[in-house]
Amino acid sequence: MNETPRFNRVLIANRGEIALRIQRACRQLGLETVAVYSEADADSRHVHEADIALCIGPAAAARSYLDADGLLLAARLTGAQAIHPGYGFLSENADFADAVEKAGLTFIGPTGASIRMMGDKITAKRAMREAGVPCVPGSDGPLPADMETVKAIALDVGFPVIVKASGGGGGRGMRVVERAADLAQAVTLTAKEAEQAFGNPTLYLERFMQKPRHIEIQVLCDTHGTALWLGARDCSLQRRHQKVLEEASAPGITPQTIAEIGTRCAEACRRIGYRGAGTFEFLYEDGVFAFIEMNTRVQVEHPITEETTGIDIVAEQLRIAQGARLGIAQADIGLRGHAIECRLNAEDPFTFMPSPGTITRWDLPGGPGIRVDTHVVAGYTVQPYYDSLIGKVISYGATREQAIARMRVALAEMKVEGISTNIPLHQDLLADPAFAQGGVDIHYLERWLAKRTAL
Amino acid sequence: MSNRSEQMVPHFDRLPEPEQIGQMATWLAQAGLESLELSNEAAGLKLRICVGQTASGATAPDAPTAAQPDVSAGLVAVKTPYFGHLCLTHPQRDSAFSPVGAKVAQGDIVALLTMDSLQLPVCAPVAGTVATVTGQAGALVGYGTTIMQIQPD
């Protein structure tokens, strides 16, 4: 850490488990924390643990966690000199990052310019291609207005293609087109939806990969030119583009292959002057990586990388924001063992309907290789206003088999009453032969769920 | 406040012309502010201009939770509509807005929330008599904090 730290009090502009995770990292580094919370989160754990806690608005996120002006005002009134945005909410809002810095505060994350570049999928892809990161074949820019030209591009790329909104992400604003005959209608519809959803009708298209896996590379960059890659995560088990279970490393992909793509990601970070933690997301099929997007923030699934590298990613975010140099070199990063994360949601394990309510029993698992990141305690009430994530169980083992075995025991030990959780879903997945083999594609879970419903 | 508006706010030794009041109301609305109070105690004059906020204005703070009577005592809590430093006395006077025992009408300003140069009124949810003042003057209070209780008429 620098002799004169840039900040010693951090405002955590988030809620739930990630707010507590950030608070822990701050406290371990001797930094004071400011918890800003909505009226609905007054009983949250990190609120009680904070040096300063301030209710900034009602439950509605627009008036609390998404209120950029209110957050800046709260930082000023509480004397916080830095803001950690966590994930979701304002974490990838370039204007907010700029406003924080303009107010003379430190934004714990990349510059607004980096966020803006990655937020626009066309500029992101262009920057990545120029930096040598492999991208899926596509239109290499916005689709022209002339439909004949669009058709020519699509034929050149090869059907099936996926038409995507430049301002989209997270599975929204996209449409798969199987045949040239359906292209014009798909483009018109997607543009209209994109205009409505993101205020930006710009589209691009890419070849649609049929059975890809979701593989992502975690990076960590300081402001002195060091950019590190911390191995890969396999997040292929998804439902409606929401990750359910993640693992590190990616089963069946050789360390050499990961090292090669990781090196390119780190090099791209150096080229664009990236700062802080970030994730390059790829589709992976038949040995080919295709860049989809970069997440310019800490991710929900960061703990599995922490387990396999021994690096505290959130603490490093804070140190980097202080202006410190990364104390590790790429050669020091060993990828040891295997880690799995099960996201615990307050939802029905079959219908996926949210299950808010008061948790009457909350017995956590333990033992070697088990980590639980959660803001929940017994008696906690899951609010209906926010996402249903109530915690994460992370298992670590010397091998994938050991990590799975430890996770099985952990989930069996975990007792939750008062609400429904997706623990039974995780238990079924862990017992699935295809999962046990490893390397399922991103559509596997939805197919598996469809089959389960049919039975 | 800019120099321009300083000049254009009339010297408050008599009631401003209706057009001037209208102009000030327009400025308030444009600045996303709710009310403006001019007072000249020597002349015994006080003018309060309130404007209804439209969607284009800044966030119009609404009541955190509906005023609910404390069943046991029949008291109604006064809750803060935003966060800020609590100011219980009028900035230009030494007296408290609404000390214990004060009679208040619904909508009366009973306190202010100060955020740097901004001030936001905390208004009485009901008419009645101030029964308790629990808010600490100068303290940083959060949204929805009970700062006093009113015994309704």
Interval A334-364: pLDDT, tens: 999 999 999 999 999 999 999 999 999 999 9
Percent of chain A with pLDDT over 70: 98
> B144, A58: Cβ pair inside 8 Å?
yes
Per annotation, catalytic residue among A45, A175, A297, A371: A297
**H/E/C letters for each residue in A27-63?**
HHCCCEEEEEEEHHHCCCHHHHHCCEEEEEECCCHHH
Q: Which residues of B66-102 are buried (b: 16+ CB within 10 A; e: fewer)?
A: ebeeeeeeebbbbbbbbbbbbbbeeeeeeebbbeeeb
**A416 exposure class (CB count in 10 Å sphere: 0-12, 13-18, 19+):** buried
Please confirm, yes or no, whether A264 is among the known catalytic residues: no
pLDDT at B33 over 80: no
> Closest approach of chain A CAs to the CA of B57, in angstroms?
14
- A 10 A CB-CB count for B132 gives 16
Q: Which residue has the higher pLDDT, A198 or B129?
A: B129
pLDDT digits (tens, 9 = 90+) for A364-388: 999 999 999 999 999 999 999 999 9
Give the phi and the psi of residue A49 in degrees, each rounded to 5. -85, -10
Give the A:B interface size as CB pairs under 8 Å.
40
pLDDT digits (tens, 9 = 90+) for A83-100: 999 999 999 999 999 999
> B143, A76: Cβ pair inside 8 Å?
no
Interatomic CA distance for residues A275 and B48, integer angstroms = 51
Q: Which two tokens stand for residue A341?
A: 């994360």
**Quick one: pLDDT at residue B91?**
79
Interatomic CA distance for residues B105 and B109, integer angstroms = 9
Omega of the bond leading into A249 within 30 degrees of 0 (cis): yes
State the average pLDDT over residues A377-401: 97
pLDDT digits (tens, 9 = 90+) for B105-122: 999 999 999 998 889 999
Strands A338-345 and A389-397: antiparallel
Interatomic CA distance for residues A24 and A272, integer angstroms = 30
Q: What single-letter amino acid sits at A26? A: C
**Quick one: pLDDT at residue B59?**
41
pLDDT at B7 over 50: no
Interatomic CA distance for residues A420 and A350, integer angstroms = 10
Q: Which residue has the higher pLDDT, A108 or B58?
A: A108
User: What secondary structure does DSSP assign to A241-309, as a single string?
Assistant: TEEEEEEES-TTS-HHHHHHHHHHHHHHHHHHT--EEEEEEEEEETTEEEEEEEE-S--TTHHHHHHHH
> Closest approach of chain B CAs to the CA of A130, in angstroms?
42
B87: three-class secondary structure by DSSP: strand
A382: three-class secondary structure by DSSP: strand
Q: What's the whole-number average pLDDT of chain A? A: 95
A420: three-class secondary structure by DSSP: coil
Give pTM, 2 decimals: 0.86
Q: Cα dihedral angle (A310, A215, A113, B32), rounded to 10 degrees?
A: -90
Picking from B115, B116, B143, the nearest residue to A39 by CB comes out as: B143
Q: Which two tokens stand for residue A351?
A: 């219908």
Strands A106-107 and A82-84: parallel
Interatomic CA distance for residues B67 and A11, integer angstroms = 31
DSSP conformational letter for A378: T
Interatomic CA distance for residues A360 and A354, integer angstroms = 17
Provide, as residue numbers in chain A, all residues whose Cβ is less than 8 Å from the Cβ of B66: none
> A56, B84: Cβ pair inside 8 Å?
no
Q: Which two tokens stand for residue B77?
A: 């809590």
3-state helix, strand, coil in chain B (%, to 5): 15, 35, 50
> Closest approach of chain B CAs to the CA of A67, in angstroms?
10
Picking from B64, B85, B116, the nearest residue to A39 by CB comes out as: B64
Under the banding of pLDDT at 50, 70 and 90, the label for residue B15 is: confident
Question: Can you tell me the ipTM of this complex?
Answer: 0.85
A90: three-class secondary structure by DSSP: coil
Provide, as residue numbers in chain B, all residues whose Cβ is less than 8 Å from the Cβ of A63: 59
